[in-house]
Every structure is written in structure tokens, then in C-alpha cells.
Structure 1
Amino acid sequence: MFGGTILLVDDEKEIIDLLEIYLKNEGYRLLKASDGAEALELLNTNDVDLIILDVMMPNMDGIQACMKIREEKHMPIIMLSAKGREIDKITGLSIGADDYVTKPFSPLEILARVKSQLRRYRQLNVSPSKNDNEMIIDDLVINIATHKVTVDQNEVRLTPREFSILEVLARNRGIVLSMEQIYEEVWNEPFFEANNTLMVHIRKIREKIEKDPSKPQYIKTVWGIGYTIE
């Protein structure tokens, strides 16, 4: 049984050892690093399916590492942090993380999140039939097979989570989807009213695909309901 390769990045050996036990039992191959710089070196020489990345580390912290990784790579990133404030979570998600887990955590929770992220990521990278290969909305082109997005023929780099959100909206073009519908479709978990995670991701997508994010051409807000691509 081989579930994929996971890169664990944390300077706390106890956390690495604990997660290693649970993840190896599920058939995952593990790579381990104690800081962001070491993680980047491993990424240059190994194929990695998912990264579990601690925020607070010496030399290069998780925030710096995440931004550097997102310059070229699109695999899911789950951030770990002892900081549980909403602003800290928003920061992590804004710079490219797909999920954010606060310490202390349950290893079973991490395992569930890993499976959810990998399942979604792999679904997006399964090549569909040629007829369904691309969704074209004016100058926005979304290629499901290659996970590639272009605007005016210029490639836009989206994280796996951002791509999932955009895909859900594009597949339901002309339909207003509630925040709850989008969240539960993409995250595969219940939505809570106080959860601002989706709003953060929508803002980041707009910053990447819209000429003027304050006056979006593609992703429209329907106040009191949710979002739509017209």
C-alpha cells in the first residue's frame, strides 16, 4: 500500500515522530526536515504529494518556506502552528497554505486532513475527456487536466485549494452558490457561520485573476447569499 509521499517539516522531533507513526501506518512515504531551507532542498530532489509545514522554525520559518514553495509548486500544504488567532490563520491561508491546524492537535485529525487534501488534489489532476478539458469564461481559461489557469493568455498560479474553488464556481456558471455549498464541496467538512476561510481564498483568487479585484469581472459577490461566476 502506497498513499504518496509526504514531507514533514517541523523542528520539534516529538511531533515528527508522532506523525510519522500514524502516516506510515496508512502507507505514506515520509521525508523529514527541521526547517524551511532543508525542506526546499528535499523538494528539489524528490517528488512530494503533500507538505505538513510548521510555522515557527529556525533559519527559515514556515511562512517564508510556503511563499518560496508556491513560486513553483502546487501540491497541498497543511500548516501547523501554536498560534490560534484568526489573523494568524488568515496569514497562513493568504500566502498559499491549503489548511491550517493549531497545536496541540490530534494525529487522527491530521490524518483525516491529509486524506481529504490528497483526495481533492488527485481528483483535480485526473485527465477528463477532451470535451470537458477546458472551461472558457471570456479571457479566463481553466484547464482541468493540467491544473492550469490563464487570463488573457497569461498563466496564473493558483494553490490547489484556490483552483478547487474556482473550478466549483466555473462548473456552476450562472448559479449563485452559498458560502456553505462552496465550502463543503471543496473542504469536505461542515461549514461554520463564523468561518472566514472561504472569504480569504476568494480574495486571493480575485487578486490573481481580476484586473481590478475591487470590481471583479469573474467572481461576483451576491450579498447575503454567496458567490457566482456569471
Structure 2
Amino acid sequence: MKQESILLVDDERGILDILEMLLNKEGFRYIHKAKTGQEAIKAVQSTQFDLIVLDVMLPDIDGFRLCGQIRAITQAPILFLTARSGDLDMLTGFGIGGDDYISKPFNPLEVIARIRAHLRRQEAYRQGVSSERTVWDYGVLRIDKDEGRIVVNGQDVHPTAKEFELLIFFCSHPNRIFTASQLYERVWQEDFLGDDKTVVMHISRLRRKMEADPKNPEIIVNMRGIGYKFIPPGGRGQV
């Protein structure tokens, strides 16, 4: 039995039951279900989950607002599962801290596949951490891979898991230009299907957390018509 702990949040019992059944068949043993935002918050406060599947339309709170509250407690991957499939809703989901967005109606097997993919990447990332400390210290910006910390001007900022993976990739490849499709395939480890909104939103969120002026970035810069490049502040590097 897999040891990962998963929280399913949806007000439709049928969806909760079928996802739980399929996860159990996949060997996942620790499944917690919540039908309201209040139940979800209580669960997150009392249990350390490895992944959260979150509906947007809940009876007591908007799922986007709930995501913000959850993000203050845990950096576990959050997969939105919702009937709200518009571009604005998707961008809002990524902007508030979500890691994936699946529209209803959905194929339950696709949801399970995405859950497994996120958990697999999380485990691969943890297993791949070097026994030696890996720290990038640029003075105003310090990234500690082992501790999962980003410090900007002496203050801790709090990235999501995917934001942190993206930043680590940039730090490992300074001053190199990557297209959105290359970043998606290297960091998300999935085939790029032509929609770069996911990459754009994660870069935008990183800029808001790191850049002195996010509208005029100097660290993660956009090479117009080419891609993105990470420019180490002050020209310093790994320690």
C-alpha cells in the first residue's frame, strides 16, 4: 500500500466515492474526504497531506479563497477539479497557488493519472536531492534546495512546490534561454500541448515574490519572442 496521504474536497459524494475507489485500487491507503471548506481546513490543520484535490464550487466557501487559506498551512500540490472551465477561472486557480486544473466533466482515470504524476515528481525531487547542501546565494536572493526556502532581502517567501521546482531549474541553468514549452517539459515532465498559461502564471507568481518591480523583472526576464532567462542577481552563484 502507498503511504501518501491525499485529501479530496468536493460537495458531490459520488465524485468523492469514485475517486476514493480508484485511488484504493491504485494502492493508495490514506484518503481523507471533505464536503465543505470548513471540513477541509480542519483536515489540513490536523493532517499533513501529500496532495489535495479541490473543487471550486463548495457550499460554504469559494474554492479559490479556500486554496489561499490552505496555502498558508501547506505547500502540498493542489489540483483544482471544477465545472468552471473558463480561461479566467484557470488563471485564477494557478494565480492563487494551484498546481493543476481539471475541468468537469472529467475522466476519473485522467485525474488518477495526474495525481500519480504529481506524487511521482514530488518523490523524485525528494530522492534526487544531493547529500551535499545545495544553496544559491545571490545576496539579495538566497535559495536553499534542501530546506525548500527562498529568502528575499532577508525575508522568507513561500513558494508552491511547483514554483520552487521551476526556480531550482532556473538556478541550475543560469543565463540560458528556455521557451515555455521547454520549461514545461523539463519541470512538469509532461508533453507540451501548445498552451503556455501554466508556465506564464508560475513565472508571474515567482516574480511577485522575488522581484523588486515584478512589472520590470531583472531576475527572470522575458526575451521577447524567444523565451525566458534567469539572470543571477549580482552575478553570484552556488555555494
User: Fold match, TM over 0.5?
Assistant: yes
Please, what TM-score do these two structures have when normalized by structure 1? 0.95
Q: Distance in 2 between matches of 1:91 and 1:212?
A: 21
Q: Distance in 2 between matches of 1:49 and 1:154?
A: 26
Task: Give 1:130's aligned residue.
Answer: 132
Listed one character per residue, the Cα deviations across residues 2-31 of structure 1 (whole Å, up to 9, x for unaligned) are: 140100000000100110111111222100
Q: Distance in 2 between matches of 1:130 and 1:215?
A: 35
Task: Give 2:51's aligned residue.
Answer: 50
Percent identity between matched residues is: 38
Q: Distance in 1 between matches of 2:176 and 2:139?
A: 17
* Structure-to-structure mapping, 1:35-74, within 5 angstroms: 35-74=36-75
- Amino acid of the structure 2 residue aligned with 1:19: L
Q: Distance in 1 between matches of 2:140 and 2:99?
A: 26
Q: Distance in 1 between matches of 2:35 and 2:27?
A: 22
User: SS where residue 109 of structure 1 aligns?
Assistant: helix
Task: Give 2:220's aligned residue.
Answer: 219
- Unaligned 5+ segments in structure 2 are 232-239
Task: Give 1:170's aligned residue.
Answer: 171
User: SS where residue 42 of structure 1 aligns?
Assistant: helix
Worse overlay, 213-222 or 189-198: 189-198
Task: Give 1:111's aligned residue.
Answer: 112
User: SS where residue 130 of structure 1 aligns?
Assistant: coil
- Amino acid of the structure 2 residue aligned with 1:128: S
Task: Give 2:10's aligned residue.
Answer: 10
2:141/2:150 contact within 8 Å kept = yes
Task: Give 2:182's aligned residue.
Answer: 181
User: SS where residue 21 of structure 2 aligns?
Assistant: helix
Task: Give 2:161's aligned residue.
Answer: 160
Count of aligned residue pairs for this structure pair: 229
Please, what TM-score do these two structures have when normalized by structure 2? 0.91
